A and B are shown apart, each in its own frame.
Chain A
Amino acid sequence: MRENEFEKGVAKKMEEFRLQPSAPVWPEVERRIRERKRRRIIFFWFTLGGLLFCGIAGWWINDSRHPQNLVSKNESPAPVTTVPAPAGDRQPVINPEGKKGGTSIAPAGGDDISNRQDVSPVTGSKDEKSRIPAGDKINNKRDHFKRISAPVIPIAVNNAKNGEKKKLPAQSNNTPASPLIPAKTGEPLTVDVSLPAVTAGEPLAEKKVIKPVTAAGVNSGEPPIAGDTSSRAIAAKEEEPPVKKKKKEAKHKWETGLGFGFGESRLTNGNLAVFGEKRFDSYQSGMSNSNPGGAPFVSFADSIPLKGPALHIGAYAKRKLGKKTAFSAGLNLAYYSGKQRVGVFVDSTKTLADPYFSVILDGFYRAGSQSRYSNRYYFLQLPLLFHWQLNRGRHFPLLEWENGFLPSVLVGSRALVYDRRERLFFRDKTVYNTFSLACQTGISALLFPDKKHPLSAGFYYNYHFSKLQKQNPPEFNHLGSYGLQFRWVIKK
């Protein structure tokens, strides 16, 4: 606070003080303004282009690496042996109508696809068929999908039909990569997101009124006394009114909140097909016209999960980068699901083996459409999103377009894996990629912006570039979901 005539005089003189800037100053300022604007535009289009490129590249790679692995009619069966399960563990099986009896069981080797929807082919012996009781409800299936052993070992098993013993060829765990076991695609991917530097810590929005000079404690009429160490001026300074605390508007640079979303999830075949209902349904029904040559179409419809509900919930922190841009990071628990048409449940121990992969099942589902099974996947996701403000929010709610990536970790699953050779479903958590990378886009509107805790609502779509299943990958192997999402701002 200025309390003396001297300060008053200095302030007055300095108010009058003007200097003319040299000519190059304005062109330089103008250049920097334009450059900043151009950089923002370039950044926007670069990010958009990058996202598009990633999507197209992901689709192309998956499409080229993943030929149509349809089940061939003439496919030779794999060496499969069946071991009778203990009598106490057996579970009954129902037919599509839920009536008692084994009417859904087809004769062994029945490969007639035309009536496959009606009958579930059963390979194996008559004994096996006779071991499948019918009529009871499928209730306690989840305990029967326990994987007994992963590594391949020579197994001597009984052929139930003729009592012969067959020894499977010994296999090493270090077997070369199989066409059925593609190279790992689920390794964790890192996303390098470069953010523009932001000048922080300057409370620009704050207004400061320059306090007027006061002459308190000064006798302007008196001549200055050299060496006067009067404490009056000090006392006057001590009596300065308490400083009003500055508004801390700019202090909270991060907006934090909670997010929730729900919608529909589905598996796609890698072409980012959001609403490819036609193709999907044709696959599902086995009526696709894409089969060349008019040969009888061999559907893999059994392996295609239907859509199911999707949910995600989490927290996020968001920071403004510029006037219209922001970046957010968060942590979500996401749930994806898809209902699966399956046939009857077989409560029996079965060994699946091919040259590179072997597993002993303790219960499985046959292919068919007698019942449905919900495949469930739980992910921990780290959404890294860029937000672009689309309007000023004067006449319409403030709209934001968001794009970004979701590095994800599969933390749990309860889903069926389809074996094409045997055409049966079983549970095996080891076939999934633990890490995956998804992209997300969405648009949201800010509601009640004047409230302390505004809400934003909008649509989202996300798509997993990474394959869900790394072993025996099915055609539809990329998770995606779309729906509504809400964000509740806790602290802004």
Chain B
Amino acid sequence: MDERQLVRNCLKGKPAAQKELFDRFSGQMLGVCYRYTKSLADAEDVLQDGFVKVYQHLHAYKFEGELGAWIRRIMVTTGLNFLKKHSRYRADLSFDTNDALHPVTDNDAEVTMSAKELAELIRQLPTGYQTIFNLHAVEGYTHVEIGEMLGITDGTSRSQYARARNLLISWVEKNSFIKNGLYAGK
């Protein structure tokens, strides 16, 4: 069943189509949710909320652009709402107001680790860093857009991103050294 037909059947309320839509996108979307949260249970909560919204607002999807990208946007928005709503994330999500740009290096680390390992590293970042890194590096939002989404200035977003990036690169390099046996004893 192609996407168009699938969406139409979902709009008609056919349970089989709704299940198929879930099966088709749930794996990818859980990956998205996983990157924004600190536990798998929270990620599944976000996934549930997100899919309920997807079915609720499916009539708003006008077949312009990929369905997966549309659902992904809903998941990201739901994830951000989840972070703002729950106190265990809300405290960590506060951003310092120092807009001074943290130096962004050209230091690039080759990402040789698996996707799962990389996702785990991203999740080790403080919540604020993690969120901004995900939004900018993975989802492709600009800092101005991130600022609007999180209620911060674009300068703060840039600064937080630079710190998150540096921290993550150092972890990736460290991880790479360990994997290659170059970090032994240090």
Residues of A in contact with B (beta carbons under 8 Å apart): 1-2, 4-7, 9-14, 16-22, 25-26, 28-30, 32-33, 36-37, 199, 202, 204-213, 217-220, 224-230, 232-234, 237, 240, 243, 323
Contacts and interface: CB of A to CB of B under 8 A. Distances in A.
Contact of B118 (A2, A13, A218): A13
B86 interface: no
Contacts of B65: 207-209
B138 A234 contact: no
Question: When A and B form their complex, which 5 residue pairs have the shortest distance between CB atoms, in order from nearest?
Answer: A9-B111, A17-B115, A17-B31, A18-B27, A210-B140
Contact of B165 (A6, A30, A33): A6
A30 B15 contact: yes
Contacts of B163: none
Contact of B56 (A10, A11, A36, A211): A36
Interface in B45-64: 47-48, 51-53, 55-57, 59-62, 64
Interface stretch (B1-9, B87-95, B97-105, B124-132): B97-105
B42 interface: no
Interface of B: 13, 15, 18-19, 22, 26-28, 30-31, 34-35, 40, 43-44, 47-48, 51-53, 55-57, 59-62, 64-65, 69-70, 73-74, 77, 101, 103-111, 113-116, 118-119, 122, 136-140, 142-145, 158, 165, 169
Contact of B115 (A14, A33, A204): A14
Given A9-B111, A207-B70, A208-B69, A1 B138 contact: no
Nearest to A16: B115
Contact of B110 (A9, A16, A17): A9
Given A19-B30, A237-B143, A224 B77 contact: no
A28 B44 CA distance: 11
B52 to A, nearest CB: 5
> Which of B26, B65, B145 has its CB near the most chain A CB atoms (within 10 A)?
B26
Contacts of B111: 6, 9-10, 12-13
A387 to B, nearest CB: 17
A210 B118 contact: no
